[in-house]
């Protein structure tokens, strides 16, 4: 993971911090950077030493300010579809990594940057952050999953307002609508996000993974289908050593020691 040109990865106490590192262009997502982020998350998925991930942007101005417009302007229909599919694979790599991922939005998260954040499990934001999908103001539309993930997160009406106006929202408004989960002072964003992630990671890793899977799979079907998924996974976790450890630790009034087994 040290060979990336536009992505920095640091691991500390089981938490990987992935930093999109193109501050001179506000961490814009060109094709090379998208491929690096995808490869990075594929590697983190298989790294047993990493239990949780934080994604952020280099510098103090932008998380990711969007796609690389210089690349987009040259795309014809076939190339544009491939560009969207490339961005979609990046977001799916993030979404399916199997570990909690928190986007620490430290500035502008626009277009592809907003879509990257939407693919994360949870989102925190600096109080100075701006988040939006401005594609329609450029005569295009979101292509990395924004039209699908945003309405699932904030509802159809809110999502369409953001998509059709192209206007960004500030951190406080994003928190009110459920687009971000926590807002922190800019100087404290990474430390507070890491502290929150550590608290989450105290819970059973298998339980975290299967509960997240239940939510994601359940959203794709009816309530009855979702309840069936939940019951199936509840049965799966009953066979785990972690479930026995968690319940036993509760009865013995001690802190559980989970093994992800």
Catalytic residue (choose from 36, 95, 115, 175): 115
The residue-averaged pLDDT of 197-223 equals 94
| pLDDT above 60 for 1 | no
Q: pTM for the whole thing?
A: 0.95
Please spell the DSSP secondary structure of 55-113, one letter per residue.
Answer: EEESSSSEEE--B-HHHHTT--HHHHHHHHHHHHHHHHHHHTSSS-EEEEE-SEEETHH
Residues 6 or more apart in contact with residue 92 via CB below 8 angstroms:
119
Whether 203 contacts 212, CB under 8 Å = no
The residue-averaged pLDDT of 44-61 equals 96
Residue 2 — pLDDT band, cuts 50, 70, 90? low
* Residue 5 among the catalytic residues: no
Count of beta carbons in the 10 Å neighbourhood of residue 173 = 14
Model pLDDT for residues 112-139, shown as the tens digit of each residue: 999 999 999 999 999 999 999 999 999 9
Residue 61 — pLDDT band, cuts 50, 70, 90? very high
* Residue 175 among the catalytic residues: no
Whether 43 contacts 1, CB under 8 Å = yes
Domains of the chain: residue spans and CATH: 7-201 (3.90.226.10), 205-251 (1.10.12.10)
Q: What DSSP designation does 252 have?
A: T
The residue-averaged pLDDT of 1-13 equals 88
The residue-averaged pLDDT of 202-222 equals 93
Catalytic residue (choose from 135, 213, 225, 230): 135
């Amino acid at each position: 993971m040290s060979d990336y040109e536009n992505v920095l990865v640091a691991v500390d106490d089981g938490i990987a911090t992935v930093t999109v590192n193109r501050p001179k262009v506000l961490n814009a997502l060109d094709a090379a950077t998208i491929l690096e982020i995808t490869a990075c998350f594929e590697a983190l998925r298989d790294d047993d030493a990493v239990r949780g991930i934080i994604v952020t942007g280099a510098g103090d101005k932008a998380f990711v300010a969007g796609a690389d417009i210089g690349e987009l302007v040259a795309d014809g229909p076939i190339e544009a579809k491939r560009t969207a599919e490339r961005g979609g694979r990046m977001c799916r790599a993030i979404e399916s990594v199997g570990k909690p991922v928190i986007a620490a939005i430290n500035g502008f998260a626009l277009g592809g940057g907003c879509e990257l954040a939407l693919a994360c499990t949870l989102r925190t934001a600096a109080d100075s952050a701006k988040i939006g999908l401005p594609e329609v103001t450029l005569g295009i539309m979101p292509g990395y999953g924004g039209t699908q993930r945003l309405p699932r997160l904030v509802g159809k009406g809110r999502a369409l307002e953001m998509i059709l106006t192209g206007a960004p929202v500030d951190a406080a408004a994003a928190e009110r609508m459920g687009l971000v989960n926590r807002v922190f002072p800019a100087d404290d964003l990474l430390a507070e996000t890491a502290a929150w992630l550590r608290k989450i990671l105290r819970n059973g890793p298998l339980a975290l993974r299967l509960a997240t899977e239940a939510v994601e799979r359940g959203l794709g079907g009816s309530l009855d289908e979702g309840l069936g998924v939940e019951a199936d996974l509840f049965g799966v976790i009953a066979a785990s050593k972690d479930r026995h450890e968690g319940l036993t630790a509760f009865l013995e009034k001690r802190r559980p020691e989970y093994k992800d087994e």
